[in-house]
Amino acid sequence: MMKTNRAGPELGFSREPAAAGAAAIIEGIEADAFEVIRGGEVRAQMIALNRVIPGQWTTA
C-alpha cells in the first residue's frame, strides 16, 4: 500500500522503529486513550476528515 500511496512524511507517513510504535501504544494504554495517532496534527486532521468524507485521501 505505501508503495502506491502519494502521501509522505508531511502527512505523517514515515517508517519508524517498531519500538517507537510499541512505546506509543503503551503510552496510550497508560493514558487510557481511545486512539493513538502517530504523525502529528496533520495526520490527526486527515484521519478525522476521512471519517467524515471517506475516500478523500485515496490515490488514483
Prediction pTM value = 0.59
What pLDDT, in 10s, does the model give residues 11-47? 667 778 999 989 999 999 999 999 998 878 888 888 8
3-state secondary structure the chain: CCCCCCCCHHHCCCCCCHHHHHHHHHHHHHCCCCCCCCCHHHHHHHHHHHHHCCCCCCCC
pLDDT at position 25? 94
| Whether pLDDT at 3 is above 70 | no
Residues 50-59 have a mean pLDDT of 69
Band (pLDDT 50/70/90 cuts) for residue 6 is low
How far is the C-alpha of 42 from the C-alpha of 10, rounded, in Å? 8
**37 vs 56, residue with greater confidence:** 37
How far is the C-alpha of 36 from the C-alpha of 26, rounded, in Å? 10
